[in-house]
A and B are shown apart, each in its own frame.
Chain A
């Protein structure tokens, strides 16, 4: 066990028990603990019920994401990105693909842009519902968890119909998407949105003015805006600290410039406002999906350039050009020119950034992922120091770290 360098316990000034030699009590939470969803080990030094120091240890889920990506072709990296944020895998897929497309200088078809928005927003709702449900469950509100999981399950079903998998979606290809919407999917999504709207209101009614919930959330996990920027907060946690920064508005991508939505901002910098930002964003995402489904243009979902996208099966089987293009794409991969790019998209927890470096060999030379949760989690020990142990749980929940992306 590495030395932690805990601060010494403050001298006991009470004359009745000053002779007692009080040492901090070290409590291990995790790596497998019911209140820390995710494999994180928190070593907490306690003085009574107050946290003197907290050491966050990660890496239990480290899989060598970057090293694996450096040894496969660009298209083969896609399945690895599913496993980063396993609560919203489509956002990782599309974020990575957008970065590669930027490096290639590709523009994807309009229809693919809208479908990417729909997929990403479905998963944003999914992620926010999960975060809220887990927060509520871990501080004692189990009913909310059941409601939210019901809505989550509906989203999971729609995602399965769209991509063929509940979790490992691998949806999207360089230059667009691998398949169009299934038949009748639009109507099913609209019905699902109705249901999510009801569930979100139900969760809102159960939690937002709930005395027990507010006692645990209001004022806890405070981190000033100054520190939040310093630590690299983005997404809902930054917007709960009073800064309206959203990459969908600041640097619009895909179909976002054509859609109308608001960015919620709250100013208390605490757990309760992080929860409220998420609740408002669920409704904004519902709005976005409805608009995107309405405006969805017709047309192809994949570019028709066989240097980057696989040719249709008909062409592969019947023409020599198609066969050659297929063979070259499968065996050698997409030839990305030598160069570098930093590109980011707004994922459910904040800025999901990719620094990609290509040496022109058909494989990534370097894939750096800027996981939003990594920077959020790095601030955890500062947020809980000097506070009660019971504040650690909601703080850990509202920053919503996801082991897959934080630990790569």
Chain B
């Protein structure tokens, strides 16, 4: 069914899909041209019936064999009538990590885009309130980028130093 949806997208918006492929489990994916992202989402929602916003995320391809452009942004939609998922991808360059915000089509994208911005540093133009979703505003960098270190902790409040004598409790007056 998602194959049929991609067919009809290709028919109506011929420039919107850059590429189509099937993954190893047999599911169909469409890679979307950035400029046609919003028209495509609107068409999928209003005409094809993919009304349920499932989810959104990104992948940093830095360590994959094909690593340019660097980011993939994923959109998952669902059609309750046809019982089918629509899986879409947009490729995003590292130098200009921006995409148009989809919140005018799906309100569920409001938070999903905030979490992508938080984790990957991809900006969504036109988003009314693009704050970080999980981390705090003073956090530097974007932790799910592959070049962010695993132990790159940035505590807001300084963490307790490791005690020299492990049998001694914290504080200066604590008995040994």
Contacts and interface: CB of A to CB of B under 8 A. Distances in A.
B143 interface: yes
B25 interface: yes
How large, as a class, is the contact surface on chain B? 35 or more
Contacts, number: 109
B141 interface: no
B5 interface: no
Nearest to A339: B24
A380 to B, nearest CB: 10
Interface in A335-357: 337, 339-342, 344, 351, 353, 355, 357
Given A342-B76, A355-B57, A355-B74, A230 B134 contact: no
Interface residues of A, number: 46
Interface string B60-104: 100110000000001010001001010100000000000000000
Contacts of A344: 54
B43 interface: no
B112 to A, nearest CB: 8
Given A59-B133, A59-B135, A366-B59, A232 B23 contact: no
A103 B83 CA distance: 21
Chain B binding site: helix, strand, loop or mixed by DSSP? loop
Nearest to B61: A365
Contacts of A227: 107
A230 B107 contact: yes
A232 B85 CA distance: 13
B107 A353 contact: no
Nearest to B52: A229
A59 B27 CA distance: 33
Contacts of A103: 24-25
A243 interface: yes
A370 B24 contact: no
Given A2-B137, A230-B107, A105 B57 contact: no
A102 interface: yes
Contacts of B108: 230-232, 375, 378-379
A272 to B, nearest CB: 23
B87 A243 contact: no
A58 interface: yes
B83 A368 contact: no
A188 interface: no
A393 B117 CA distance: 30
Chain A binding site: helix, strand, loop or mixed by DSSP? mixed
A398 B164 CA distance: 49
Contacts of B131: 2
B87 A342 contact: yes
Contacts of A340: 23-24
Contacts of A258: none
A202 interface: no
B119 A66 contact: yes
Contacts of A233: 52
Contacts of B52: 229, 232-234, 245
Contacts of A163: none
A251 interface: yes
Nearest to A56: B111
B176 interface: no
Contacts of A366: 59-60
A310 to B, nearest CB: 24
A71 B129 CA distance: 32
B24 A365 contact: no
Interface in A202-260: 227, 229-234, 243, 245, 250-251
Interface in A353-390: 353, 355, 357, 359, 365-366, 368, 370, 374-375, 377-379, 382
Contacts of B27: 341-342
A295 interface: no
Contacts of A250: 83
B33 interface: no
B9 interface: no
A35 to B, nearest CB: 22
A5 B23 contact: no
A368 B55 contact: yes
A182 interface: no
28 contacts: A64-B143, A67-B148, A105-B25, A227-B107, A230-B53, A230-B107, A230-B108, A231-B53, A231-B108, A232-B53, A232-B108, A339-B24, A340-B23, A341-B24, A341-B27, A342-B76, A353-B54, A353-B55, A357-B59, A370-B54, A370-B55, A375-B53, A375-B108, A375-B111, A378-B108, A378-B110, A379-B107, A407-B134
Given A342-B76, A370-B76, A375-B112, 15 more contacts: A2-B131, A2-B137, A59-B136, A105-B25, A230-B108, A231-B108, A232-B53, A234-B52, A337-B24, A355-B55, A359-B63, A365-B63, A375-B111, A378-B107, A378-B111
